[in-house]
Each structure stands twice: as C-alpha cells, then as structure tokens.
Amino acid sequence: MTTLVLSVVALWIVVGAAAGLVMARRGHNVRAWVVLGGVFGPFVVPYVLASLRREAEAAPVVVTAGEAGTGPVDVLVGIDGSPESRAAVVAVEELLGDRLGRFTLVTVVDFETASYDDLGPPPYPADAEAARARAEQILADAAAQATRRPETLVLAGAPALVLARHAVEGGYDLVVVGHRGRGLSRAILGSVARELARDGKVPVLIAGR
C-alpha cells in the first residue's frame, strides 16, 4: 500500500512539473500551472487543452496608437523594462531619422495575463490586473524616450517566438532589442534571433553592443 501511495504521489508531482514546463515554454504562467498540476495531477489535462485552444484567440492589444512615419523602414522594438531596451528606442530614431516608418514598441506577457476582457479558464495569476498595469507602464516608460509617439502593443506568448512571428506577419523590416536586457531581450538573442537573421526574413539589430 505504501508503495502504491508513493507511486501516486510521484505521478502527481511529475504531471504537475511536466504541465508547468510545457505551458511555460508556450508562454503561459509557469507558477500557476505547476500549482494546478500539483493539485489536480492527471486531471489537469482538460485545463491544458482549454488553454491551448485560447492561444489562437490571443490577439495583440494596442495600448497606444502611434504617429505614422513617412520613411520606408518599419521597426519593431522588443521592450522588457530594462535600461537597455529603453536605450534601443533612442538608438532606432538616431540611426534611421527620417527613414523611420512604422515605429512599434512591444512587450510580451504570458497568456493568462494577456486578456483584458476575459481571463478565461484557470489557472490565472491573482494579480493579473497589476501585471497588465506593469506591462503598460513598461511601454509608457520606453515610449517616453522617443521624440515621435510610437505605437505600443502587448503580445502574449513565449517572448522570442511571438516577437519574431509578429515581426514577420506584420511586415516589419527590422527587429530591435537592447543589449543585455531582461527576459525579452535575453530570449530574442537566442536561437529565434539567429534564425531570423540567417534566413533574412527580418533583420535583427542588437542596440548598444
């Protein structure tokens, strides 16, 4: 009996950890999913499936509309709240000047935080409102560094992947991130950035190196 109980407990723990890892890699809230997996064990699967279905519904949230530029170069800047990412905003304007067209700043949150109208099925962070407010403040602080009002967006998902996908789908000419930033910059400096640069889909500029 003791062996059976230990086996069940181990299964519960493994399922919880696996759910947290899988969902985190897809851009979900890792702590919430580990807790949910630990509590519900194998019964967490319906929650996983429901959340995966919601991923396709996570549209970009426009926080502020930007001023349309006349230049030919459309730029997407990844913002993570670090001084380096804010400096990247300044670097873009200094580098391109009048050649700057669309100028968009993006920060990325997890799927559970992303929805402004419906947090959907659990799990979701108890401080979702505060997390969304922090995301907006990060964008506002970065936008304040620009001489022209940029568009600001909140995207949901795994930072590097969603930023790269939005750049391609949005037809941007350049992705910019700050050197040695926080989570977003560190993520985009990895394999996704190298893949974009190698394939020539969207060039990647590391500002401040």
Helical (H) or strand (E) element with 64? strand 61-64
3-class DSSP state for residue 106?
strand
Contacts of 150 (CB under 8 A, 6+ apart): 64, 66, 67, 77, 89, 103, 104, 105, 143
- Res 153: pLDDT: 92
- Res 110: pLDDT: 80
Ranges in the chain, pLDDT < 70: 1, 8, 54-57, 114-128, 180-200, 208-209
- Res 17: pLDDT: 74
What is the tens place of the pLDDT at every residue in 187-196? 555 555 555 5
Amino acid found at 199: D
User: What does the alpha-carbon distance between residue 209 and residue 204 come to, in Å, rounded to a whole number?
Assistant: 13
The token pair that represents 187 in the structure block: 């993520």
What is this structure's pTM?
0.76
Domain ranges of the chain: 2-55, 61-207
Architecture of domain 61-207: 3-Layer(aba) Sandwich (3.40)
Calculate Rg over the CA atoms of the chain.
19
The two beta strands, 73-78 and 204-207, are: unpaired
- Res 156: pLDDT: 84
User: What does the alpha-carbon distance between residue 59 and residue 48 come to, in Å, rounded to a whole number?
Assistant: 19
- Res 206: pLDDT: 79
What is the tens place of the pLDDT at every residue in 80-128? 888 888 888 999 999 899 999 999 999 988 877 765 444 444 455 556 6
Which ranges in 65-153 belong to alpha helices (H)? Answer: 83-96, 111-114, 128-143
- Res 116: pLDDT: 45
